[in-house]
Structure 1
Amino acid sequence: MSTVLGPTRPQGDAPDPAARRGPRLRGDVVAVLLACALVAAASLYGWDAIDRGVDILVGWPPVLAEWMPHFRRGGVAAVLVAVVVVLVGPPVAARLRWGPLLALTFVASAAWTFSLALIDGYGPGIVDRLTTPTEYLVEVRRYPGLGPFLTTFADRIVGMTPDTLVTHASGHPPLATLVYVWIADLLGPGGEPAGLVTLLVGASASTAVAVTIGALGGLRWGPVTLPPAPETVQAGRDLARRYIPFGILFPGAVWVGVSADGMFAGVFAWGVALLALGSVRRGVLGTVLSLLAGVVLGASLFLSYGLAAAGLIPMVIAVLVRRWWPLAVAAVGVLAVVGAFHLGGFFWFDGYEQVKLRYYQVGEYGLRRPYEYWVWANLAALALALGPAVVAGLRRLAWWPRRAPLAVLALVAGAVLAVAAADLSGLSKSEVERIWLPFGTWMVLTCALLPPRSARWWLAAQAVLALAVNSLLFTTW
């Protein structure tokens, strides 16, 4: 059977010279050191700019945080989760049956995210995160009903009016606020139910990514048999098993718990996962899954305008399976969501145009933060959220793309292009450690390219980074 990284060499053949020149640990270390240098440069330049009176508008460049060493007793759980995943994560992921493994992935990801938040304390880390004056819960308290809310939403985005939406509600489509309205109706008002639901949905992203790569990871160029042959399915799941421990110990979990962008990442990831499942099945089931994927992906567009840039990620699935029918069915689902909001009184493009106006209003952060700094410092903030293992994986993918599984190459390329579009647009200046979580979760797939013998060391590095960031800095999310 072939491995997930390419065909095996028949026994007795001479060693391939190109294989001997494959990715080495030394190159990985160099890539990580360059990423560290980028973070250091962004920090030093940012502090110098602050001293010169430039509006960087973050407390600890290049991330939105304050220097505040702390470690509440609840954070001990984060250390325990990290130790368990580092020590037993790879062998458990390799041996456990597929269904239970996916369930365990979600539980472990939620435990990691929750325990990281406990370093700040249950109140400051979870309950209070979404209760500040700029957050969605302010709009929940003055929610006028669905009809008036949608019909007036776009008119309330631009600032300097008596009924202007608060910062986060105005910067996102209406579904982001509606989600918290529905959470309050179902589970009660306040920051606790909102924070817990946000955290759990965000933590599920790693499971969705595993489902996606499990469905697509064994595909190669050439004729595709649907449903895929057993060996193809096995190859995809083997690849997912390599990814899962890294998906659990994602350093970006510092911001998944608790920020709405973490929830957006989870919703979008499940939309992609449903499309992947629908694309490798024929008949009614494949059509239903693809349609449901379109509805979820359409909903994600009304959670965050930035997820329009992530559209390449589901599109590459059609290329991988060489079938356009599932994508067309998904497009019907997306249009159904767009049409429903339009009939309700909100048109997506109207909201997007109003957001751009507000972003550059006098006094708003979009106008004050310098593009020439953030266009590269954003990448330093992203590197902190991704961690050294992802940096090393990206290096391997870029250096030896032909050795990478086709699905990893395509999905990660889509995420990288989405980051590039968001960065160059100038509409993502700072705070990307949380804003780009929907893109970053897919880049973690590159960790499956790291040698299994060094997996525990890379997992430890990921955990140490997350624990250090959450213990030394007090992040806004």
Structure 2
Amino acid sequence: MDRANQRELENITVEQDSHDTEVGSRLPRLRDLIGAVLAVVLVVVAAVVAKMGNATITPLITPSARTFRDFTEGAPLFAQWLPHVGIGTPFAVLIAAAVVLYGPAVSARMSWRPLMFLAWASSFGWVLSLALVDGWHRGFVEKLTAKDEYLYEVPGVTDIPAMLETFTTHIVDGQIGSWTTHVSGHPPGALLVFVWLDRLGLQGGVWASMLCVVVGSSAAAAVAIAVRALAGDALGRRAVPFLVLAPTAIWIGVSGDGLFAGVAAWGISLLALAAARTVSRPWIFAVGAGILLGFTVYLNYGLTLMAIPALAVLIAARNARPLLGALVGALAVAAAFTASGFWWFDGYQLVQVRYWQGIAQYRPFAYWGWANIASAVCAVGLAVPAALHRSFAWTRLRSLSGLSLLVIAAVLAVAAADLSTLSKAETERIWLPFYVWMLAATALLPPRTHRFWLAVQAIAALAINHLLLTNW
């Protein structure tokens, strides 16, 4: 089946979904509610179990009063209980109301390119306003300037080639001049981004945080573009309001992982455009996709799992030709880092040593193995578990639906990351590059229910951000 026929099949399926809603089919909508309710139960159970004090399953074994407050109080989220409002509160409420009331209609009618700019701008406003709920300094300026963060190491990087060549000698804790927590836990690409920003004269927390918000919020447009390329215009448009008004915005603003999510999202999006042959020079887009996806591997070791969504794109488009261009781009990035003296596999082995030297050794997998999923629910919102069963519908799987394959690939990537035991807690932030693709499942919800589910998403995000002080 070629892409034209595939898009036609997607459109027929979308029309059938709308028809089922119009004629009053209640079973799919009941399943939507059941999925959301089960997700709520999971979050509640994870929060209750965290307070039980059982040495086997308590999120932080043998905690002191301080470590409990800092690492466990908000479990399954990395946060502390602190009801508060801030300068971002009225703006967040206004943006949420506007998207809930007008988002679906505007998305359905506006021309595509202006819609993508509006989606990016709206997502930017939503992310920034939620960050400012915690205040200008605490919520934005100082997020990336703490001792554990990237900016702490930037002044010490006076020679970039020397830094790359000796990077692995500073990963393990206890070594002379060992990197701070976040720098040691990632490949050098993450630190390099902020060093480059500094070299451009954009020093300090304001510029670093702004970069993360701008790039991270752009994921809304990137995912929508990929969905449209692989699953048709209707589903691409339906996804837009949910991609904008997602609880993931809480952790995109402000964290390095928000930046990683944006870079990875555009890598997959360019690959989708190349594979679907919706652009005039697909090979350029394929190489560009490879460069971005190759660089993500040097931003975060765990983003090697973006190979799963990339494979899903090629399967959905039934076109493996972009793979060559993507490999060329990715290998060029790898060659540049390797020639500079950083061998990725050495870094990956050493970062596992560093991981088990830290707080991870006190976090039991017996809890986080499933509580990670509860934190994922908090990040993606209830609309995603409500819609997931639709992505796994047999008719969509049998036809290799582009949207379903993207969503399932994201779910598989999360499952692999979880089972690795190298992501225990803080996954509301760490798994952002996968969550943005899971959000695409919401496009399959019946159109008549979109305002309801958008309101649920907005309320969840506002509640989390105003009741808890999140650490990222």
* Pick aligned residue for 1:74 from 88, 91, 102: 88
The yes-or-no answer on 1:49 pairing with 2:53 is: yes
Contact 1:275–1:289 (CA under 8 A) maintained in structure 2? yes
Contact 1:43–1:60 (CA under 8 A) maintained in structure 2? yes
Structure 1 residue 25, shift from structure 2 partner: 2.1
TM-score between the two structures when normalised by the length of structure 1: 0.90
Structure 1 residue 162, shift from structure 2 partner: 2.4
The yes-or-no answer on 1:357 pairing with 2:353 is: yes
Structure 1 residue 26, shift from structure 2 partner: 1.9
Contact 1:291–1:333 (CA under 8 A) maintained in structure 2? yes
Q: Report 1:187-206 matches (<5 A).
A: 187-206=201-220
Amino acid at match of 2:51: W
The yes-or-no answer on 1:247 pairing with 2:243 is: yes
Structure 1 residue 22, shift from structure 2 partner: 7.5
Q: Which residue in 1 is equivalent to 2:4?
A: none
Q: Which residue in 1 is equivalent to 2:122?
A: 108
Contact 2:229–2:278 (CA under 8 A) maintained in structure 1? no
Structure 1 residue 405, shift from structure 2 partner: 7.4
Structure 1 residue 93, shift from structure 2 partner: 0.2
Structure 1 residue 4, shift from structure 2 partner: 3.0
Amino acid at match of 2:76: P
Q: Alignment partner of 2:53: what SS?
A: helix
Amino acid at match of 1:372: A
Q: Which residue in 1 is equivalent to 2:333?
A: 337
Measured against aligned partners, the alpha-carbon deviations of 1:345-378 in whole angstroms (never above 9, x if no partner) come to 00111110000111112xx112121111100000
Q: Which residue in 2 is equivalent to 1:226?
A: none
Q: How well do the aligned residues superpose, as a CA RMSD in angstroms?
A: 2.1
Measured against aligned partners, the alpha-carbon deviations of 1:75-107 in whole angstroms (never above 9, x if no partner) come to 110000000000000000000001100110000
Contact 2:187–2:344 (CA under 8 A) maintained in structure 1? yes
Q: Which residue in 1 is equivalent to 2:363?
A: 369
Contact 2:91–2:129 (CA under 8 A) maintained in structure 1? yes
Question: Which deviates more from structure 2 when the two are superposed, residues 153-162 or residues 426-435?
Answer: 153-162
Measured against aligned partners, the alpha-carbon deviations of 1:201-252 in whole angstroms (never above 9, x if no partner) come to 00000100011111111xxxxxxxxxxxxxxxxxx12111100000000101
CA 1:165/1:435 → structure 2, altered by over 3 Å: closer, same or farther?
same
The yes-or-no answer on 1:450 pairing with 2:445 is: yes
The yes-or-no answer on 1:177 pairing with 2:161 is: no
Structure 1 residue 397, shift from structure 2 partner: 2.1
Q: Report 1:64-143 matches (<5 A).
A: 64-143=78-157
Structure 1 residue 114, shift from structure 2 partner: 0.5
Question: Which deviates more from structure 2 when the two are superposed, residues 139-148 or residues 432-441?
Answer: 139-148
Q: Report 1:215-364 matches (<5 A).
A: 215-217=229-231, 236-281=232-277, 285-361=281-357, 364=358
**Identical columns (%):** 44
Q: Which residue in 1 is equivalent to 2:179?
A: 165
Q: Alignment partner of 1:474: what SS?
A: strand
The yes-or-no answer on 1:151 pairing with 2:165 is: yes
Structure 1: stretches of 5+ with no match in the other structure: 10-14, 218-235
Amino acid at match of 2:139: G
CA 1:280/1:28 → structure 2, altered by over 3 Å: closer, same or farther?
closer
Structure 2: stretches of 5+ with no match in the other structure: 1-7
Contact 2:315–2:400 (CA under 8 A) maintained in structure 1? no
Contact 2:317–2:402 (CA under 8 A) maintained in structure 1? no
Q: Which residue in 2 is equivalent to 1:230?
A: none
Question: Which deviates more from structure 2 when the two are superposed, residues 118-127 or residues 48-57?
Answer: 48-57
Structure 1 residue 411, shift from structure 2 partner: 0.7
Q: May I ask how many residue pairs the two structures share in their alignment?
A: 450
Counterparts of 1:5 and 1:50 in 2: how far apart (Å)? 52
Counterparts of 1:91 and 1:447 in 2: how far apart (Å)? 16
Amino acid at match of 2:117: A
